[in-house]
Amino acid sequence: MVENFILPRQNLYTETRLFVSMGVGEECGVVACVLKEDFAETFNVAEILNNLLGELQHRGQTSSGIATFSKHNKKLLKTLKEAGKVAHLFKNWDKNYTAQKMKEFNGEIGIGHVRYATSNVDDDAFTILEEAQPFLRRHGRPWKRFAIAFNGHIANYDELKKELLEEGYILDTDVDTEVIMHLISLSLKKHLTHTPEGLFKSFEEVIAKLDGSFNCVFLNASGDLVVFRDPLGLRPLVIGENEKFFAVASESKALNKVGITNFRDVAPGEVVIIKNGEMICKSLKIDSRCAHCHFEYVYFSDTCSINDSILVNDVRKNLGKILGREERLKGRFGEEDWMVVPVPSTSIPAAVAYSYETNVAFSFSLIKNDVGRGFINSTEMRKTIMNAKYSIIPESVRDKKVILVDDSIIRGETCQRVIKLLRDAGASEVHLRVTELPIKFPCFYGVDFPSYKELIAGDINGSKEEIEKQVAQKINADSMGFISFEGLKESLGGNGDTFCFACLTGKYPTEKGQELADGLR
Ligand code: SF4
């Protein structure tokens, strides 16, 4: 029976994480670009994709890839993928190789992807490449031959995979994108996809089947680009244009890089088709609910990005300001030897605002070395990275009472190491302040938090004060404090109605997400 071969993906979220090697939980970045007709000969879409992807490197470093379409190319649609960072894709250090690949993948339309595999980082290069995106669906008909790249996580993946297996499909990977790719190809069969109406119908059908977060860019060998975002708008996605090209990216920072200042969010539930140089948009939203991932603002997104019309940097400043306002150590701030120190780099705007709000001196005493983001790597790799991640300026913290400001605390390993660094350098006290609440629940929408047992506050129950006390003991801080839930919502600029907080509250915005969480309980 085919069912016997379906490994239930929700087991990723159990304490034991039996299927940790399956490699499915991921947070990624997608891009797309369409050259306008007058500039199709003078610009190279591969170069623009390379620049766009380079600005999304913080969203994924496991693999990078592009697919480009050129009406001058016999194959029309070609993919180039590499394990590792975007620089590896075109071997930016080797001018001849870069020039040759740029020529080979020159085209008028393209899509791209950076992958952030949280579970498969120990895999061999072959598997990493096999799971790298864009995925290419080969077919003899140009409108049925397509490439697709995806950012998000499908909560009902197991059911969809089962359906496909029962239809007789063979799946090569455990990656959501492959399932979406086959669902799209099934829908494309049914509709007249030479026309925008047919394409809309196909994607409407696919979107109706998916539960979770999904931002997709699709490009067929007829030169049609389709972009869609899930109805709750869980992950950010922007689209813009200048006189030379249209561009799409997971974050606006990437559009800025290629000179696009005129951009907007792809609305939750919106499908955008760019065909023959014309952009056609349609909303498939059936209600007004949104659930933007609040963690994008706290940690994932780049500080200079504008997600759903909110500047990430503004949220981070608000978080620091409000955390400072809530600070209960305030009574002691009159003493001269206090010092606010950010854990670089995400928490810098918050730490500056915190210092301003509390009137405590600010110091860049910790220097971040370029070793990647600790949260995204395997246990072994994470430890190695964390040991090399920060350097300290001892003279600036000696005999100081340090208020260490961090964006979030997940396992607590980074904080623990930083606190030790500060104490070894002569800090007399170290107090940790965090611009997030304790993460207590799994994410089914693309952020692969560690298992319940590994989360620093996963097994601590009780009041906020009790959790803070126990976390402080675990990481050897003199005290620690999380921002309040009200403060977090206020930082996001409202009552929080349009955001997802499921990893804090256990209340999930989609049916399948809630079902998976209830099943674990
Ligand atoms: Fe973001 Fe948390 Fe919701 Fe996942 S559960 S989408 S990390 S807010």
The rounded Å distance from CA 402 to ligand 1 centre is 30
* CB 294 less than 6 A from any atom of ligand 1: yes
The pLDDT value given to residue 374: 46
Out of 1-5, 159-163, 196-200, least confident range? 1-5
The pLDDT value given to residue 261: 94
Does the pLDDT at position 25 exceed 50?
Answer: no
> What contacts 90, CB < 8 A, 6 or more positions away?
46, 50, 97, 98, 101, 102
Average pLDDT, the chain: 89
The pLDDT value given to residue 452: 79
Does the pLDDT at position 16 exceed 60?
Answer: no
Question: Which ligand 1 atom is the nearest neighbour of the CA of 502?
Answer: 5
Rama region for 146: left / alpha / beta (φ>0; ψ in -120 to 50; rest): beta
Separation of alpha carbons 98 and 167, rounded Å: 42
> What contacts 257, CB < 8 A, 6 or more positions away?
51, 52, 54, 55
- With the most atoms of ligand 1 within 8 angstroms of its CB, the residue from 294, 312, 497, 505 to mutate is 294
- Read off the pLDDT of each residue in 79-101 and give the average, rounded to a whole number: 95
The question of whether 33 is a catalytic residue gets the answer no
Does the pLDDT at position 1 exceed 50?
Answer: no
Higher-scoring residue by pLDDT: 26, 72:
72
The pLDDT value given to residue 378: 58
The pLDDT value given to residue 140: 87
Separation of alpha carbons 454 and 456, rounded Å: 6
* CB 425 less than 6 A from any atom of ligand 1: no
The rounded Å distance from CA 352 to ligand 1 centre is 26
* CB 290 less than 6 A from any atom of ligand 1: no
pLDDT digits (tens, 9 = 90+) for 162-212: 999 998 999 999 899 999 999 999 999 888 677 889 999 999 999 999 999
* CB 445 less than 6 A from any atom of ligand 1: yes
* H helical segments located in 345-492: 348-358, 379-389, 394-397, 413-424, 464-475, 485-491
The pLDDT value given to residue 12: 40
* H helical segments located in 309-378: 312-325, 348-358
Out of 48-57, 143-152, 453-462, least confident range? 453-462
Confidence of residue 75 (pLDDT cuts 50, 70, 90): confident
What residue's CA is closest to ligand 1, atom 4?
443
- Residue 298: DSSP 8-state: I
The pLDDT value given to residue 386: 67
pLDDT digits (tens, 9 = 90+) for 401-440: 999 999 999 999 889 999 999 999 999 999 999 999 999 9
What residue's CA is closest to ligand 1, atom 1?
293
Separation of alpha carbons 391 and 399, rounded Å: 18
Confidence of residue 262 (pLDDT cuts 50, 70, 90): very high
- pTM of the predicted model as reported, rounded to 2 decimal places: 0.91
The pLDDT value given to residue 154: 96
The pLDDT value given to residue 88: 94
Q: How many CB atoms lie within 10 A of CB 130?
A: 17
Separation of alpha carbons 251 and 306, rounded Å: 7
Q: How far from 358 is each of 18, 153, 324, 435, 489, CA to CA, in Å? A: 46, 40, 6, 15, 20
Separation of alpha carbons 420 and 437, rounded Å: 23
The rounded Å distance from CA 219 to ligand 1 centre is 28
Separation of alpha carbons 78 and 102, rounded Å: 12
Confidence of residue 122 (pLDDT cuts 50, 70, 90): low
Confidence of residue 470 (pLDDT cuts 50, 70, 90): very high
Identity (one letter) of the amino acid at 16? T
Which residues are registered as beta bridge partners of 217? 149, 227
Separation of alpha carbons 226 and 111, rounded Å: 10
Using DSSP's 3-state secondary structure scheme, residue 445 falls into coil
Confidence of residue 331 (pLDDT cuts 50, 70, 90): low
The rounded Å distance from CA 500 to ligand 1 centre is 6
* H helical segments located in 390-445: 394-397, 413-424
Separation of alpha carbons 416 and 406, rounded Å: 12
Q: How far from 368 is each of 62, 191, 346, 390, 485, CA to CA, in Å? A: 21, 52, 11, 5, 29
Sign of the dihedral defined by the CA atoms of residues 496, 497, 499, 500, in that order: positive
Q: How many CB atoms lie within 10 A of CB 249?
A: 32
Catalytic residue from among 28, 33, 216, 503: 28
Question: Which ligand 1 atom is the nearest neighbour of the CA of 509?
Answer: 3
* CB 447 less than 6 A from any atom of ligand 1: yes
Q: Pull the structure tokens for residue 9.
A: 């993906």
| C-alpha distance across the termini of the chain, in Å | 29
pLDDT digits (tens, 9 = 90+) for 361-406: 999 999 988 765 544 445 666 666 667 789 999 999 999 999 999 9
* CB 13 less than 6 A from any atom of ligand 1: no
Question: Which ligand 1 atom is the nearest neighbour of the CA of 449?
Answer: 7
